[in-house]
Structure 1
Amino acid sequence: MTVPPPPPPLLGADGLEVTFPGRRGAAAARAVDGVDLAIRPGEIVALVGESGCGKTTLARALLGLVPPTSGRVTFDGVPLGYSGRALKAYRRRVQLVLQDPSGSLNPRHTVYDAVAEGLRIHGYGGDERAAVTRALSRAGLRPPERFLLRHPRELSGGQRQRVVIAGALVLEPELIVADEPVASLDASVRGEILALLLRLRDELGLSALVVTHDLGLAWNIADRVAVMYLGRIVETGDAEKILTRPQHPYTQALLSVLPEAQGDPVILSGEPPDPSRVPSGCRFHTRCRILASGEAERAGVADACRTEDLPVLAGDDGTRVACHWATAVAAAPPSSSETSATTEAERG
């Protein structure tokens, strides 16, 4: 049976770079450095990495809030334009959900005004009250009439986050970008907000890019995962494959510290390098346990790790990884013990 090809991406980045000039003669910082990324209709993609890896800058570039130094952003197959009119039209279809609802809601505005703000900016010509109550209901604030005249201080943290989500939904976008959407919430409320995002995907066909440092969150919500390190996507693919069979040592380290992980956690040494001084070779090699332990030497790739940059390469299972060691291991023939085990299993 022929497997149909995946649908074309709704939102895409092609060779995207964002460089910030250095201060007082310092070298420029490559915050986003040649990123390719695609989000398909009705799909949730988790963009994961440590603080400072460039994921928020990438999200802002995808939203048109930061112009790329090179490369392009496309939406529905059309390159993003940066005129005021083009960006206004684009942001009606792509909405941002911020991390801290307390900081993104004006304490003097009622819930009604907070949710209606987008409608007013875009000159909505329909029934404003009906649109606001529909968005609140979709965000799980029911009955919506109970919340219209409340102020943020009268709401719980989870309710405030739902108001922020309602403000994004009121324009009926096709995609939302959620930057650490549950980082400031209690554990019990986190689960409710994640369940809400999944329900919105299932009921409305809403696509989402969820930016997070937490691979556990990605495990619970994402269809696909993109792992980012020092401005680059170093591993990407279906969430189940990435989270159960990670190939890149960086992904393995991030997963090892989750509460449900088996074995000892991998503690990354030091901090990520300064994006204005990206190391030669693999940009992760200065913190890589595979290189430090001699495994890369035994695989014959240690010199390449230190000197040769590597693009993200496709794997046999649909994942993509930028790692000399992972590529060498995948290409190596099975050992005699592995071959014998396979033969015995086939006989059994």
Structure 2
Amino acid sequence: MTSTPLIGTAGLEVAFPGRRGGPEARAVDGVDLDIRPGEIVALVGESGCGKTTLARSLLGLVRPTAGQIMFDGKPFDYSSRALKAYRKRVQLVLQDPSGSLNPRHTVYEAVAEGLRIHGSAGDERAAVAEALSRAGLRPPERFFLRYPHELSGGQRQRVVIAGALVLEPELIVADEPVASLDASVRGEILALLLRLRDELGLSALVVTHDLGLAWNIADRVAVMYLGRIVETGEVDEILTAPRHPYTQALLSVMPDAEGDPVVLTGEPPDPSRVPSGCRFHARCQILASGEAERAGVADACRTQDLPVLPSSGTGTRVACHWATALKASETVAAS
């Protein structure tokens, strides 16, 4: 896997106008994130944290307020011609396959649609068959004339994936790709995405609220809260030794988690009213328990903002006053 990013953001911000002249809502509020060729990155967080807006920005569906997106070493080009070419290289896989497929179109028509939009040359029938086969629908000809209602949920999701694969993209953005599927089918779709990564060198950004899914599929994890990445690193490091209290809370409610679950109080703050200090501090179990006070960072948690995490570097990176103080004390003790 090359270290040069296929796609990356620098200081990315997306703000939406406030209601009735109120303050703007900062859905994405300073994000540095990159994805390398052949890498799967899981973007994890609660609903409303900004992860879908970030994904839509990477797809060119939402234009950033500030910051930059780089793709294949070049700044993002929002001209119509460039966007059309870009969307052949970067494809979206949505959560609900039933909503993604036209019920009046056969499987063949659904998969061939992208080829026709982009005016792709070559043998259309062969390309559709190859895409269906790669998506695990074999023999592909058996599915050509079927309609979505004649398929299982897992088969419909495979058709959606085939519709993305037929254009031979370099990156797939998958928004909750298995959330609507039965548990028995989820593993099959995740295994398919991993196989496509290995066989085709395909990159993927998987947007999810489920850290268990991230554990099963991702190379790296980026945990997002109220518009920012608060912890990022290799999947094994993040999920076995999380440093941010928010990541710890998300992991504590997984089915196989040890110890008592951490119940976060309240809802995430309104993105039009981002709190001072650490944006998680009002819900933070570490601050509430007095641990941050004992570490001497409670005031910083409430008043001092944290920098945007860089996308480059190795190891886990965390935006948390308490985790930083704890790491510093451990380093001093070790020396």
Structure 1 and Structure 2 fold alike (TM over 0.5): yes
Identical columns (%): 83
- The two structures, once aligned, show a CA RMSD in angstroms of 1.6
User: What secondary structure does 2:273 align onto?
Assistant: coil
The residue type equivalent to 2:316 in the other structure is: T
Distance (whole Å) between structure 2 residues aligned to residue 242 and residue 7 of structure 1: 20
The alignment of Structure 1 onto Structure 2 pairs a total of residues equal to: 334
Q: 1:43 maps to which residue?
A: 39
Structure 1 residue 105 displacement after superposition: 0.2
Task: Verify: 1:172 aligned to 2:168, yes or no.
Answer: yes
Q: Where do 1:212-291 residues align within 5 Å?
A: 212-291=208-287
Q: Where do 1:274-313 residues align within 5 Å?
A: 274-312=270-308
User: What secondary structure does 1:240 align onto?
Assistant: helix
Listed one character per residue, the Cα deviations across residues 64-123 of structure 1 (whole Å, up to 9, x for unaligned) are 000000111111111110010010010110000011000010000000000000000000
The residue type equivalent to 2:78 in the other structure is: Y
Pair 1:136–1:43, CA change in 2 (3 A): same
* Equivalent residues of 1:235, 1:312 under 8 A apart: no
The residue type equivalent to 1:210 in the other structure is: V
Distance (whole Å) between structure 1 residues aligned to residue 170 and residue 2 of structure 2: 18
The residue type equivalent to 1:330 in the other structure is: K
Distance (whole Å) between structure 2 residues aligned to residue 125 and residue 6 of structure 1: 30
Task: Verify: 1:79 aligned to 2:72, yes or no.
Answer: no
The residue type equivalent to 1:10 in the other structure is: L
Distance (whole Å) between structure 1 residues aligned to residue 330 and residue 256 of structure 2: 32
Q: Which runs of 5+ in 1 are unaligned?
A: 343-348
Distance (whole Å) between structure 1 residues aligned to residue 240 and residue 16 of structure 2: 36
Distance (whole Å) between structure 2 residues aligned to residue 333 and residue 245 of structure 1: 14
Distance (whole Å) between structure 2 residues aligned to residue 6 and residue 323 of structure 1: 30
Q: 1:320 aligns with which of 317, 321, 329?
A: 317
Q: 2:98 maps to which residue?
A: 102
Deviating beyond 3 angstroms after TM superposition, the runs of 4 or more aligned structure 1 residues are 312-317, 333-336
Distance (whole Å) between structure 2 residues aligned to residue 37 and residue 316 of structure 1: 11
Normalised TM-score (structure 2): 0.97
Distance (whole Å) between structure 1 residues aligned to residue 272 and residue 64 of structure 2: 17
Q: 1:68 aligns with which of 64, 78, 97?
A: 64
User: What secondary structure does 1:278 align onto?
Assistant: coil
Q: 2:326 maps to which residue?
A: 329
Structure 1 residue 266 displacement after superposition: 0.4
The residue type equivalent to 1:331 in the other structure is: A
User: What secondary structure does 2:236 align onto?
Assistant: helix
Structure 1 residue 217 displacement after superposition: 0.2
State the structure with bigger RCO (CA 8 A, min sep 6), 1 or 2: 2
* Equivalent residues of 1:138, 1:166 under 8 A apart: yes
User: What secondary structure does 2:279 align onto?
Assistant: coil
Distance (whole Å) between structure 1 residues aligned to residue 186 and residue 83 of structure 2: 31
Pair 1:333–1:113, CA change in 2 (3 A): closer
Structure 1 residue 316 displacement after superposition: 9.6
Listed one character per residue, the Cα deviations across residues 178-197 of structure 1 (whole Å, up to 9, x for unaligned) are 00000000001000000000
Q: Which runs of 5+ in 2 are unaligned?
A: none
* Equivalent residues of 2:11, 2:308 under 8 A apart: no
Q: 1:116 aligns with which of 112, 117, 125?
A: 112
User: What secondary structure does 1:268 align onto?
Assistant: coil
Structure 1 residue 333 displacement after superposition: 4.3
User: What secondary structure does 1:30 align onto?
Assistant: strand
Structure 1 residue 318 displacement after superposition: 1.2
Q: Where do 1:82-231 residues align within 5 Å?
A: 82-231=78-227
The residue type equivalent to 2:20 in the other structure is: R
* Equivalent residues of 2:44, 2:222 under 8 A apart: yes
The residue type equivalent to 1:323 in the other structure is: C
Structure 1 residue 311 displacement after superposition: 1.5
* Equivalent residues of 2:229, 2:309 under 8 A apart: no
Say which one has the larger Rg.
Answer: 1
Q: 1:345 maps to which residue?
A: none
Listed one character per residue, the Cα deviations across residues 192-211 of structure 1 (whole Å, up to 9, x for unaligned) are 00000000000000000000
Distance (whole Å) between structure 2 residues aligned to residue 255 and residue 316 of structure 1: 24
The residue type equivalent to 1:284 in the other structure is: F
